[in-house]
Amino acid sequence: MDRVALRGLKARGHHGVFPREREEGQTFIVDLMLGLDTRPAAADDDLAKTVHYGIVAEEVVEVVQGEPVDLIETLAERIAQQCLKHDGVQEVEVVVHKPDAPITVPFDDVTITITRSRV
């Protein structure tokens, strides 16, 4: 299976269990690894036979900016399901970064990584 990667998609969302997170929002960063067969697109040099990563990026940002959820696990699942709506995408790995998580000690990042497939 071939891979198309999108890294560092940034969007502001209002996800979290604390009122401040819901009210003020914060930046979330998303990395995607889309699994698909790119041979048909390459053979015909045809965008219609692959995944349009620009559209995927816009859809992911809409999910992050959309309806708030408590957990980044839920956010990652919603993103994965959106990616799998694209016909050619057979598998997706989603990493959601929450660099401004409400943690009281110094840290660099909090992430959740999930992998989902059609099978």
Residues assigned a catalytic role = 98
Half-sphere exposure of residue 5, counting CA atoms within 13 Å on the CB side? 4
- Mark out the alpha helices in the chain (DSSP H runs): 19-24, 39-44, 53-65, 72-83
What gap in Å lies between CA 3 and CA 58, rounded to an integer? 19
